[in-house]
Structure 1
Amino acid sequence: MAQHDNEPNFPFPILIGDIGGTNARFAILVDAHSEPKAFPNVATADFATIDEAIQTSVLDKTSLQPRSAILAVAGPVDGDEIDLTNCPWVVRPKQMIAELGFNEVVVVNDFAAQALAVASLDESHRHQIGKGRIEPHASRIVLGPGTGLGVAGLVYAQRRWIPVPGEGGHIDMGPRSKRDFEIFPHLEQIDGRISAEQLLCGRGIVNIYRAICAADGRDASLSTPADITTAGLAGEEPAAETLRLFATYLGRCAGDLALIFMAQGGVYLAGGISQKVIKALEGPEFRAAFEDKAPHQGLLSAMPTFVMTHPLAALSGLAAYARTPGLFGIAIEGRHWKRGGL
């Protein structure tokens, strides 16, 4: 393995955490050779702070005292107080060191962790949708419909994988087909625009469903993403059309991002929603929309698309980074706190 200057070396045991808008997942990595010891998922609404959640759900449940913490959070990492985008928790690493007993804390974007998983998971944890072949060291993209829409790129350079997180879920989406032009006027907007996240997440499923009902003059009898998804997978209209359009819009968005990153290493769909709607994604709509990028249909048709099926993919990615940080190019300047400021 290539050596790099200033490679971090985190002391074990290491607490790893994947904190989203709705749920938080934690595990402890005892050493570089062990599998993560996972704890039950935590609903962020059940705890006032992340510190309380860690203390109650992890530290009080084990005799292990983690010396380090590597946390992936749904939001931009900036400064000593890190706000989550879709959750009222605020991550304060210095306070964690003072009160929870860590010597070091690293905080990264949650989709950096998903990108790490893309680089480290084997084929048993990915389900291919359509055709295409992975180019081993080519760029990759990960998208995750969940509470919001997370997006990250992954590039290979200097013998390491480098995650490129961003806010790609907030790019514009517009109507294209005749049906789109019937539905889009009824979609809920944010400041006059429809972003990808307005369609490609849990509330996006509800947004599409309500717009279909409004366009067709029907009552919107279903109100939750779970109910709409269940009905859609059972073939009940208009929920089934909702899933077909969801797959179409996800394919369009994924294809755009694949072109931006030239993702010949593959496009990877993360998160629980992607896993739940695999049946819908295997229909013709997703790949057709993904490849329909004239004049580059041939380029897109050769790019593989996958659903990541590991139940705790982000934690797996963080564990891979914790074991061998030198294999991954994560910039931790400004995202790494140590006891005593050393």
Structure 2
Amino acid sequence: MPSSTSPFVLPFPILIADIGGTNARFSILVDANAEPKAFETIRTRDFESLDAAIQNHVLDHTSLMPRSAVLAVAGPTDGDAIDLTNNDWVVYPRRMIADLGFDEVVVLNDYEAQALAVVALEDDQLRQIGGGERDPAAHRVVIGPGTGLGVAGLVHAASTWIPVAGEGGHVDLGPQTERDGEVFAHLERIGGRVSGEQVLCGRGMVNLYRAVARANGNAPRFDDPSDVTHAAETGSDEDAVETLDLFAEYLGRVAGDLALVFMARGGVYLTGGITQKILPFFNQTRFRAAFDNKAPHEALVGEMPVFAILHDRAPMEGLAAYARTPSRFGVALESRHWTR
């Protein structure tokens, strides 16, 4: 039955899984000191259910029989039937215990796992953008443009790291400059407003590109974010180039706001599929100028470092860190921890 007792120790071996709308990643952690045994990334559409994926892709191909499972899923994580965002799978923890042989199952939000990762990653898995120096015991923020705009905080209190997942990607984003006004007039809105996610994700990038093109009196040429980024990288479309410059600026504005909300002296961390794809031509100067432009607190924000996460399986590192030593993290387990 669900338990809220913490801290606790999960029995090894432990299956860890990062389950998104499109892909799922699995590893098995044999003990607290071992490196995870990783399995190939799969497309969720290739399997009827999560249970089928675990059985056919993991358990049928190893002699290691995990006793526990720690899952990170894109969607709300409470209840005995957990629906996933942008994915037809439903997670049934009780069924996993009954049918797959687990003794315990813990389900976390995907951005909780992203937040946990920022205390597990090595320096060579990060790239600093601009100045600032990290306070190793201070609060942190993770922001990730991908399918949507994911946001989470990591609060340090009572010698414990506490992930705070929410819907910060839906904060308002408004125009500041005359050029912003010209572009924002053409942005698609939801409920009459422009949120961060309306611009700072895959479909948001297309939304921004179309607005830029129309503000320039041009017919938009692209409907896919990968086409926009390729055109920007090659310089073959001026509207696409401006789109990526504005994308960097607007991401800097939202990231700077979140840095102030959490007083993120431990750093702001950029993650998500889009971040890694555009990083080679990401306008870091424009991003950092927008990040720092928080009058009257420019000096305060300027001292906060920003890092791009280079690790393509960062949430798995966060899950592994949590699975090894759950007591290090203040993860609320009520209605998210099932036992045999």
**Normalising TM by the smaller chain, what interval?**
over 0.9
Kept in 2: contact 1:12–1:66 (CA 8 A): yes
Residue of structure 1 in register with 2:316 after alignment? 315
Which of structure 1's runs of 4+ aligned residues deviate more than 6 A? none
Q: Higher relative CO (CA 8 A, sep ≥ 6), structure 1 or 2? A: 2
Secondary structure at 1:287 match in 2: helix
Secondary structure of residue in 2 paired with 1:137: coil
Residues 144-155 of structure 1 mapped to structure 2, 5 A cutoff: 144-155=144-155
Tell me the distance in 1 between the aligned counterparts of 2:33 and 2:201: 36
Give the Cα–Cα distance (whole angstroms) in 1 for the partners of residues 87 and 194 of structure 2.
Answer: 21
Alpha carbons of 1:60 and 1:193: their partners in 2 closer, same or farther (altered >3 Å)?
Answer: farther
Tell me the equivalent position of 1:194. 194
> For residue 263 of structure 1, what is the amino acid of its counterpart?
A
- 1:264 aligned residue: 265
1:60 partnered with 2:60: yes
Cα 1:214–1:61 change in 2 (3 A) is farther
Which residue identity is paired with 1:52?
A
RMSD: 1.5
Q: Which residue of 1 aligns with 2:335?
A: 334
Q: Kindly tell me: are residues 130 and 170 of structure 1, through their superposed partners in 2, closer, same or farther at Cα, counting changes over 3 Å?
A: same
Q: More displaced, 171-180 or 100-109?
A: 171-180
Q: 1:87 to 1:194 in 2, by over 3 A?
A: farther
Structure 1 runs not aligned, ≥5 long = none
Structure 2 CA distance for aligned equivalents of residues 333 and 274 of structure 1: 33
2:253 match: 252
Whether 1:287 and 2:288 are equivalent positions in the alignment is yes
Using the TM superposition, give the Cα deviation of residue 229 of structure 1 relative to its aligned residue in structure 2, in angstroms.
1.1
Distance in 1, matches of 2:46 and 2:178, equals 44
| Number of the residue aligned with 1:32 | 32
| Map of 1:110 onto structure 2 | 110
What secondary structure is seen at the aligned counterpart in 1 of 2:185? helix
Write the distance in 2 (CA, Å) between the matches of 1:52 and 1:179: 51
TM-score by length of 1: 0.94
Q: How far 1:56 moved relative to its partner?
A: 2.4
Q: Is the 8 A contact 1:266 1:305 kept in 2?
A: yes
What whole-Å deviation, never above 9, does each CA across 1:78-107 have from its counterpart, x for those lacking one? 211112223222211111112222111100
- After alignment, is 295-304 or 13-22 more displaced? 13-22
Q: Could you say which residue in structure 2 is the equivalent of 1:181?
A: 181
Segment drifting more, 209-218 vs 160-169: 209-218
For 1:45 and 1:175, the matched residues in 2 are separated by 39
How is 1:97-136 mapped onto 2 (pairs within 5 angstroms)?
A: 97-136=97-136
Aligned: 1:12 with 2:12: yes
Aligned partner of residue 120 in structure 1, secondary structure: coil
The residue aligned with 1:89 is 89
What secondary structure sits across from 2:127 in the alignment?
Answer: strand
What SS does the aligned partner of 1:210 have?
Answer: helix
Q: CA–CA distance in 2 between the matches of 1:90 and 1:192?
A: 32
Deviations 1:33-80 (A, max 9, x none): 111111111222333322222222222222222111100111121211
- Which residue of the partner structure matches residue 140 of structure 1? 140
Identity, in percent, stands at 61
Q: Secondary structure at the match of 1:238?
A: helix
Cα distance between partner residues in 2 of 1:81 and 1:193: 33
Aligned to 2:299: 298
Q: How far apart, in 1, do the equivalents of 2:249 and 2:278 lie?
A: 13
